[in-house]
Structure 1
Amino acid sequence: MGIEGKIAFVGGGAMGEAILRRLLTDAVATPAQITVSEPVTARRESLAQQYAVNVTGDNTAAVDAARVVVLAVKPQVIDKVAAELRGRLQPETLVISIMAGVRIRTMQQSLAHERIVRSMPNTPAQVGKGMTVWTATPQVSEADKTIAQTILEAMGDAVFVADEHYLDAATGLSGSGPGFVFLLVEAMIDAGVHVGFSRAQAERIALQTLEGSIALARESGAHPAVLRNLVTSPAGTTAAGTLVLERAGLRATIIEAVEAAYRRSKELGDLSEGASH
């Protein structure tokens, strides 16, 4: 599905670039439709040269007459950016935020705007394999929701939730999840080196093992416990290794890690909301 009208990106960092790159790759938008506001001159020039999009250092110029505004700045600068954009957005403009921890109420008050989508993407979005959980204010129409889903799906998969509190849960599971997975990958590579592989071999084997396991889980549709049992022979190697993991409390540790990230996301949201008042 193509999107009509101007799409403005406020912030041209890694995640903003990931979205605009996928929008262009998937023909959701054309370079002429996209304007990126970015304070760093070298970064602006790089985006213009690489993607042929319009660039500016002026946030207000970027959002002028925009159909969609993607807020892709760091949460720490939202007050400054919102002060510039307040009163500059048309009532029908759809604002999509990818800022972690900044709640809808904070954005509504600081922007004086009602049509807002809050989303939580993760870093695999940079290669089109992201997971984004998002929600919207009641003022966002069904047509706007379709636009938001199209834009967010350009980064990978996107799931709409009706209640904003799930965004903190998503931060714990999918937002921080890649960090947990990379730690697992790192440990598997180290283990491979420990049992005799070169580091390059261990990295190749570990990454493909994870990628293949995920593909099998996705394509088979079987419960992970069923797939684990299929590879676990009585008194076999996998059984021996699994016993070590269970004794170490791996399952509970993963659950506690997600819960800790979830709680921290709520704390940061409370701090952000308090600072805006």
Structure 2
Amino acid sequence: MTTGQNHHPSAVAPEDGGEWLPVLDVPAPAPQRRWTVLVRWLLLIPQFVVVWALGVAAFFVTVVGWFAALFTGRLPDGIFRFLGSVLAYTTRVHAGAALLVDSYPPFSFAAPDYPVRIEVRATPLNRLAVLFRLFLVIPAAVVASLLQSGWAAVSWVFWLVALVLGRLPAPLYGATAAVARYSFRLNAYAYLLTPAYPKGLLGDAPSAGSTTSASAERAAAPSGTRPLLLDTTAKVLLVLFLLLGLAGHVVNATTDYDADRRDGFSTTP
């Protein structure tokens, strides 16, 4: 089963030794209207409210799905469809916020013509992995948190570049798309929509036996993220995101610790 409007008729080649991974399709870098780039995050405020509400609903539905999957080894069809639709909706909004696409996301689960699409497949789940999913997801969640924090720290630079050039250059697009895809796969795993652990942060390998260049293969691909081919600059940016995210967390932890110490001293008789 696929998530309805997010299904692509073409099969996706298994990755990593035959394991199928959830697919994110985002259009290749293209010109964007500068005025929408200028006010992108303001325009998306209503969408952020909807995403927050859907996230709350998805949390409770996931809890129900966790109990069901623990006993049956799979998500019930209705829960799978709902969580898949929520994931598709939030992914569309996040892609727009990250300047990966210029089209405004619709206020609807069904968006067959929207350029950002996902594909997840209903797959039997390992009950033991379901039981410990909350703990298993922690390492990937930490990586995603560092990536998102690091991207946020430099997002204003990406915004300025897109505002001046009217598009995201390929390395900036590639690094941002890699963060978006990893976060999408993390959410799919957390929602129990897939047994596949999030991976592929540094992009995909060129097709086996291909004699074309990475840029030519990327141009011929049906989307900018299938396959996701990253150049050296994009990979360096991903490492930078991780380092900036780590530095930010360390600074925040240190600041909070110092504030707690000062508060403790001030209340000491």
TM-score (norm 2): 0.27
TM-score, length-normalised on structure 1? 0.27
Asked which structure has the greater RCO (Cα within 8 Å, sep 6+), the reply is 2
Please identify which structure carries the higher strand content: 1
